[in-house]
Amino acid sequence: MSRYQWQEAFDQAPKRDVRFETMSGIPLDAVYGPHDGQHPGQFPYTRGVHASMYRSRLWTMRMFAGFGTPSDTNERFKAILAAGGDGLSTAFDLPTLMGRDSDDPHAEGEVGRCGVAVDTLADMEDLYSGIDVGNYTTSMTINSPAAVIFAMYIAAAEKRGIGRAKLGGTLQNDILKEYQAQKEFVFPPRQSMRLVRDTITFSAAEMPRWNSVSISGYHIREAGSTAAQELAFTLGNGFAYVELAQAAGLAVDEFAPRLSFFFNAHIDFFEEIAKYRAARRIWARWMKDRYGATNEKSMMVRFHTQTAGVSLTAQQPEINIARTAIEALAGVLGGTQSLHTNSFDEALALPTEKAARIALRTQQILAYETGATNVADPLGGSWYVEALTDEIERQAEEIFAKVDEFGNGSMLEGAYVGIDNGYYQSEIADASYHFEKLINRGERIVVGVNAFTEGNAEAQPELLQITNEQEMMQVKRLQAVKADRNADAVHQCLAELKVAAVDNERNLMPTLIEAVSTYATEGEIMHALADVFGRYVERPVL
């Protein structure tokens, strides 16, 4: 694509009604660089996936929230939207993430603590009550039970008269990184990938606005990986999902445009920007050359960014506001499509409403005050940033070659082998250990932790408290739903689910939607699937 073609694409894109100039009135071009160089919206998209980037529209300010009961979180969602947020991202509690109901003995003490508790369709109805999910996009960070929660979301919307084809949003549904980093798995890898396959094919057929998988590097980085490892493991998992869908009979351009990504924004400012630029370039080249994509959207890395939780400190927590702002700016200058900014108190507890509002205001300052949105890829052409981009790409390609070798030319089989032999887990552990040694030796300064500790003894800010009463309310809500539902219908649907699960050629999504519509619980459904799939126990990596 020539400069002329880029200009044509830029001219055709809608523009925000603002003046693109500095505070002093200096007019700004949409992009800078040589006329014969790459530009945003041009393959391989190093400089951005859209010709007009933020001149056309800002990133989605998608704030992550979830705590207590669905009604508690519903109030927080509405507060976020009232404060100017334009997308929702749902955090689920640990029992929900592990496929357990709130009255499960293993759930005691964890209900509503690190996210919202969702047991049945009734909870999903309460969670988004009064919110037009046909007009707001919703992201749901859940993996092993993702298909079950997805079925609840669809059923709840359709009960309100909102058809599934109108629903827009993202299901994280990235089970590979659970075995590699986050460890919230239930079934063995290949059986879990069956559920991912079914959500991809179901969404491709019936939900054109839905991203069926958000391939996540965030949790890989939070577990201690380097930036290059985060990038390589994430894109490698993406290639595995592409091969999974192709094996199910889908042409690459039928599903790849709806794949999205989720990256960390860590504290090393320039390295993070280079990581995002390298990600776009690698994905575009692999999708075109290896997987035969012809649709430009199949070659575009569209990604959500969240600032680094692991970079936040319990010491002097207010200075986390500065860390978050710097990390968010890296995401913006790297060309993210949506952004969550962590709250300053998250090293201590779930965020208070005030802390969450400050985090959102940080994004709004970046969007409306800094001028960062006026020019696409403003650091493109920097010798430093370009060299970092090239080096991160080189390191990532070395990792791809290793995984590809594991799988004898298949990135999908290579991912399975890498999980089974502990490759990913040991690489992340080694990187994390190395970084921690640098901090302990004082070779890496963390303000408030190993230097500049004046003020550490000051009183902590007021924190959000999740009470035992909230847990009891959720358990009572679950018991009431069980008492009111048609038990025979539930048992019949669970039996049918087991039959469907045995047949690997059947797509489980229609059966899951039927099951949740009877108010079968998440735990009941996951237990039924486990009877067929089995449960996974990780082998120690020595």
Give yes or no for residue 150 having a pLDDT over 60: yes
Strands (E), 36-178: 60-65, 87-91, 138-141, 169-171
DSSP element (H, E) containing 306: strand 303-307
- The model's confidence at residue 15, banded by pLDDT at 50, 70 and 90, is very high
Q: Which two tokens stand for residue 332?
A: 């913006």
Q: Rounded mean pLDDT of the chain? A: 96
> What's the pLDDT at 87?
85
> How many percent of the chain have pLDDT more than 90?
96
Q: Is the dihedral of CA 287, 291, 295, 297 positive or negative?
A: negative
Mean pLDDT, residues 20-40? 94
Give yes or no for residue 539 having a pLDDT over 70: yes
Mean pLDDT, residues 96-117? 97
> What's the pLDDT at 1?
56
Give yes or no for residue 422 having a pLDDT over 70: yes
Structural domains for the chain: 53-440 (3.20.20.240)
Please report, in angstroms and rounded to a whole number, the separation of the first and last CA atoms in the chain. Answer: 50
Mean pLDDT, residues 519-523? 98
- The model's confidence at residue 5, banded by pLDDT at 50, 70 and 90, is confident
> What's the pLDDT at 541?
73
- The model's confidence at residue 421, banded by pLDDT at 50, 70 and 90, is very high
> In this structure, are residues 464 and 354 in contact, taking their beta carbons and an 8 Å threshold?
no
The predicted-structure confidence for 152-188, as pLDDT tens digits, reads as follows 999 999 999 999 999 999 999 999 999 999 999 999 9
Torsion of the alpha carbons at 461, 467, 87 and 347, rounded to the nearest 10: 40
The predicted-structure confidence for 490-506, as pLDDT tens digits, reads as follows 999 999 999 999 999 99
Sequence-ordered list of residues with C-beta below 8 angstroms from that of 228, at least 6 positions apart, any chain: 275, 392, 395, 396, 399
Strands (E), 206-279: 210-211, 213-216, 259-265
Mean pLDDT, residues 239-260? 97
Q: Which residues, in sequence order, are bridge partners of residue 65?
A: 90
Mean pLDDT, residues 378-405? 98
Give yes or no for residue 250 having a pLDDT over 90: yes
Q: Is the dihedral of CA 185, 188, 192, 193 positive or negative?
A: positive
Mean pLDDT, residues 317-344? 98
The predicted-structure confidence for 280-330, as pLDDT tens digits, reads as follows 999 999 999 999 999 999 999 999 999 999 999 999 999 999 999 999 999
208 vs 157, 171, 381, CA distance in Å? 16, 13, 37
Mean pLDDT, residues 403-417? 98
Query: From CA 235, how far away is CA 396, in angstroms rounded?
Result: 9
Place of tokens 């949790």: 219
Mean pLDDT, residues 44-70? 95
- The model's confidence at residue 196, banded by pLDDT at 50, 70 and 90, is very high
Mean pLDDT, residues 510-539? 97
- The model's confidence at residue 3, banded by pLDDT at 50, 70 and 90, is confident
Q: Which two tokens stand for residue 488?
A: 């025979």
Q: 10 Å Cβ neighbour count for 475?
A: 19
